[in-house]
Structure 1
Amino acid sequence: MLEQVDALQQALSILQRSAGVQVAFGGMVGDRRHIRMSQLRGTRTNALHGLAVNAGAGLGGKVLSLARPAAVGDYATATDITHEYDRPVLAESLRSVLAVPVVVNSVVRAVLYGAIREPLAFGDRVLLVAMRVGGELATELAVRDEVTRRLALAERAGAAPGQEDLREANAELRAIAQEVAEPELRERLLSVCARLSGDGRSATPFPVRLSPRELDVLAWVGLGCGNAEIARRLGLLPETVKSYLRGAMRKLGTHNRHETVVAARRLGLLP
């Protein structure tokens, strides 16, 4: 749960900065019926902290019920939302407010809000930015769900997650990271990969640095995939995969695929 809160905080920070809103806030969804406001940025009071917004009520409740974004140009006078939460909203002097759902596997997991203290309608750019941030948070939550699922399966089997499970998860996470447009989210996903790989300390006296794409390729090589399959998974040409593999071999001083993967694992570059 703490990891979800951390991801939510990061998303709100990106929303506030990228969309240029004065206030960004939001919360995770509980039992699909309410949003508990837990993270606030740019607020002047504690009026919104801990507020529970029920499905169908107010702007966020509308977004929760419909699973689609919505915005109002002047919260206090908006006619297309209910007004159960006017007091805390107006205590913050919020006028224009937008809300976007964070949808994972057709379920709204969180709602992000952006607001300003003037009654100005949000332009398309701001709404698109908010939707992008919501989509990126959905991707991160989905990734974390998959990692949690794999660990739970291993625990039910009565054993710690096997090395092959970790290696497969690492390869999949690296592939997802390359599809994420937001640099900060991509770096966070890659940091998870680094933790799966260990502490990264080298057994040799000299450091070896492989590029992210070289590591992507080696992660799948280590799972026994051929170049054509790796190219399909990573959206590359087979010749490009060969080029990355040759680059990794040159840096590691190896002569074949197996040696290269073994060397990368020995250095803590792969799990």
Structure 2
Amino acid sequence: MGTSPPGDRPAGVRGDDAGAFRRAVLGMHRATGLPMVFGGALDGRDRLRITELVGNRTGSLDGLVVRQGNGLGGKAMAMGRPVWVSDYPRAASISHDYDGPVGREGLLSIVAVPVVVRRSVRGVLYGALREPLSLADRVVGAAVEAARDLEQDLAVRDRADEALASLRREPGAGAGRPSAARWEEVRAVHAEMRALAEEVTDAATRDRLHAMTLRLAAAGLDTPAPDGPGAPPRRALSPRELDVLAYVAIGCTNAEAARRLGLLPETVKGYLRSAMRKLDSHTRLEAVTAARRAGLLP
């Protein structure tokens, strides 16, 4: 089984996107069982570059630039929906700009699924057979599901990056601190990110989301929380206790927090009581304030 090296990435491909596409290609390979799966992120406004390959026998597709409208992947980019053919060299529904590299790899039956985030194509995932057979509905469905998971991953990353960038840009008052209105937006994004993290199945993405929420929380501290001997003990809230407290911090009732987190109101109430006890607080407001002072919430 061949794979493309994870080394240098072409200009225009975000490092985060490249890593996300790599995981998506590996996941799609496992889910579909197809002998070859490949793909890549956009490298410019209307083109993508194939950088991630599993199951390749040659290097003919590695680094190939696919332009919108050209070939199977370019058609998927232009239409914004999956397309597939069962005999690539003879397919009349696509242009044949890339017959050479596709032929050298021996691919015949291919599906191409665009990755679309906020109505913009970010790349394409491909799966292929070296036989002229129709792809089963299950296989096409698994390919589409892999693309949807990647879309969610990229959308969440974008949202988190935008929140952090916005926080850095906001001039605010004194020492460059954000305005009150901007803080409310940051806190809402923090709560949303924590909720999304619980829905993400990819462990690497979930860990990255949790790390981003910690960065947002730390942004609210005037000085970093001290560490080492003599430092006050950090409050150990469970992930769900912190999820609930994050929504309480933006003014949600127990019922609203339960709806957003997919929990029962009584369950939310239990998490909140536990968090208040750990934070030595008697009210919701005291718990939120204590959590912010501890750098657990922005």
TM-score where L is the length of structure 2: 0.77
Mapped to 2, the partners of 1:6 and 1:18 lie a distance apart of 18
- Mean Cα deviation higher: 127-136 or 194-203: 194-203
Aligned to 2:53: 40
Query: For each residue in 1:78-119, what CA deviation from the matched residue of structure 2 results, as whole angstroms up to 9, or x when unmatched?
Result: 232221111111222222221111111212111111223333
| Residue 46 of structure 1, CA deviation | 1.9
The CA RMSD measured in Å over matched residues stands at: 2.9
Aligned to 1:104: 117
- Larger Rg belongs to: 2
Please state whether the residue corresponding to 2:209 is helix, strand or coil: helix
Q: Which runs of 5+ in 1 are unaligned?
A: none
Equivalent AA in structure 1 for residue 248 of structure 2: V
Equivalent AA in structure 1 for residue 25 of structure 2: L
Mapped to 2, the partners of 1:24 and 1:12 lie a distance apart of 6
1:72 aligns with 2:85: yes
Mapped to 1, the partners of 2:51 and 2:247 lie a distance apart of 39
Equivalent AA in structure 1 for residue 249 of structure 2: G
| Residue 63 of structure 1, CA deviation | 0.4
Mapped to 2, the partners of 1:105 and 1:13 lie a distance apart of 24
**Which of 251, 257, 260 is matched with 2:284 structurally?**
257
1:172 aligns with 2:185: no
- Mean Cα deviation higher: 15-24 or 96-105: 15-24
Mapped to 1, the partners of 2:291 and 2:171 lie a distance apart of 29
Contact 1:75 1:95 in 2 (8 A): yes
- Mean Cα deviation higher: 27-36 or 197-206: 197-206
Please state whether the residue corresponding to 2:142 is helix, strand or coil: helix
- Mean Cα deviation higher: 180-189 or 164-173: 180-189
Aligned to 1:236: 263
Contact 2:235 2:279 in 1 (8 A): no
Please state whether the residue corresponding to 2:58 is helix, strand or coil: coil
Contact 2:35 2:128 in 1 (8 A): yes
- Mean Cα deviation higher: 76-85 or 56-65: 76-85
Query: For each residue in 1:187-209, what CA deviation from the matched residue of structure 2 results, as whole angstroms up to 9, or x when unmatched?
Result: 44334334444599975558735
Mapped to 1, the partners of 2:116 and 2:234 lie a distance apart of 45
Contact 2:32 2:142 in 1 (8 A): yes
Query: For each residue in 1:12-44, what CA deviation from the matched residue of structure 2 results, as whole angstroms up to 9, or x when unmatched?
Result: 121112222222221222454222112222323
Cα gap change, 1:182/1:132 in structure 2, threshold over 3 Å: closer, same or farther?
farther
Mapped to 2, the partners of 1:20 and 1:193 lie a distance apart of 35
**Which of 248, 251, 273 is matched with 1:224 structurally?**
251
Mapped to 2, the partners of 1:79 and 1:206 lie a distance apart of 65
TM-score where L is the length of structure 1: 0.84
Contact 1:151 1:161 in 2 (8 A): no
Please state whether the residue corresponding to 2:53 is helix, strand or coil: strand
Identity of matched residues, %: 48
1:129 aligns with 2:156: no
Cα gap change, 1:32/1:2 in structure 2, threshold over 3 Å: closer, same or farther?
same
